[in-house]
Amino acid sequence: MVEPLLETVKIEERDCHGGMKLGVITFDAPKSLHALTLDMIRAIDGALVRWAADDAIACVVLQSSTDKAFCAGGDVRSLRAAVAEQPGVVPNPQVLAFFAEEYRLDHRIHTYVKPLLVWGGGIVMGGGLGLMAGASHRVVTESTRIAMPEITIGLFPDVGGSWFLGRMPGRSGLFLGLTGAPLNAADALFTGLGDYVLRQEERAMLLDALALGQWQASPQANHQQLSRLLRSFSAPTSMLPVSEVRANFDAIAALTQAPTLPEVVAAIAAYDGDSAWLQKAAHALGKGAPSSAALVWAMRVRTRHLSLAQVFQLELIVAVQCCAHADFSEGVRALLIAKDNAPQWQPASLAEVSEAYLNEYFTAPWDSHPLRDLH
């Protein structure tokens, strides 16, 4: 059965042995690399809610229609347009709806009882990683390219980034948040963002095997069944490129060991080693929004002892406030609209990001939190 809800999201229920079914959600917006819109978020979340209550659904798969990308993130152009339509309105209704419903979906994936497989082939960025990070079974391939590049648009690593970056080995999550450095499949395995390596060409065979699976009524048994199946398909890690995070782990530790953000930023900027990956990361931080760097550091401190639900609740405040500040609109303009790659950040330097200015991002613009029911 296929539900004709949206042209950009295909929702199917595929029959399996024993009367059980496989729920399959396929993004189909290739021109935007399957960037998430609010309508897409609502379609995905609606399906997950229904399937959670349907005893016949044994397993859920989240994928895209193309090999080039799983999901390149949220539709930030539309968010910028919404801000322009209602300048000075905080929270902007469209911005609030987008982030609140996106984070609710991400939280649902993190806490989903049934096995949920994300095929993370190709580009997985920003909001796409938010969908993938919380899944119970995360597949990466030789084409996987992951990044949280929010520093380039005056945002911060959201969609649970404050949760999963802080759980990466050493201080690698801090480094990745500050620089937006890209990750390959080997990096995903090393940092805990991926679980299984499969060849990109085997996706169709995997879906066929899922339909033939001996699924049961027990979600726990189905988790184990999916794990066994994915292990049987697993490709040798020798086919993957070298993990840049693993190879540069000691250098990352040295560059981020200072106790203050200005010292860490200065150390990364001064990197003069041979790694092209670290050189590009240092360059990206140098061109990124100082306000975003300050938020990466502040969120790392503020979320250290928070629950997953509390992380999403804090991220919603910060995301809404980011869109109300100038850097977000300017960053999207420079990167995606004018494409001049010459953003004029305000504040223009880290030294100009005062504590009072930073605290504006953590001020809730409502009396009752829209995600207060998450737990």
User: CB atoms < 10 A from the CB of 202, how many?
Assistant: 15
Question: Closest by alpha carbon to 135, among 223, 243, 58?
Answer: 223
Question: Is 88 a residue of the active site?
Answer: no
CA distances in angstroms from 154 to 81, 291, 311, 359, 371, listed in the order given: 15, 7, 19, 16, 23
Please pick, among 158, 187, 244, 315, the residue that the annotation labels catalytic. Answer: 158
Question: Is 127 a residue of the active site?
Answer: yes
Question: Is 67 a residue of the active site?
Answer: no
Please pick, among 121, 127, 161, 173, the residue that the annotation labels catalytic. Answer: 127
Q: What is the CA radius of gyration of the chain?
A: 20
Give the chain's length. Answer: 375
Question: Is 18 a residue of the active site?
Answer: no
Please pick, among 75, 106, 150, 187, the residue that the annotation labels catalytic. Answer: 150
Question: Closest by alpha carbon to 164, among 137, 188, 186?
Answer: 188
Please pick, among 23, 73, 74, 161, the residue that the annotation labels catalytic. Answer: 74
Whether residue 359 contacts residue 367, with contact meaning beta carbons closer than 8 Å, is answered with no
Whether residue 362 contacts residue 315, with contact meaning beta carbons closer than 8 Å, is answered with no
Residue with tokens 């690399």: 33
| Tokens encoding 103 | 């984070």
Catalytic residues: 74, 127, 150, 158
